[in-house]
Amino acid sequence: MQDKKADFSHVSELYKTARPTYSEKYLDSIPKGLKIAEFGAGTGKLTSQIL
């Protein structure tokens, strides 16, 4: 069986740069002062925008 991670690795940087960021409207809807964790195998863009 072929390693699926290897199939995506050659486009991971393209995906990371091409994926849009979250809108200000969405970010403003997140209650302030809460402890928030972003789960998933994503780019971490939400985390970087709310920190």
CA 22 to chain centre: 9
pLDDT tens-digit readout, 1-51: 566 556 777 787 888 788 888 999 999 998 888 887 777 767 788 888 888
pLDDT (0 to 100) of residue 29: 92
Q: How far apart are the C-alpha atoms of 26 and 22, rounded to whole Å?
A: 7
The two structure tokens encoding residue 8: 């995506």
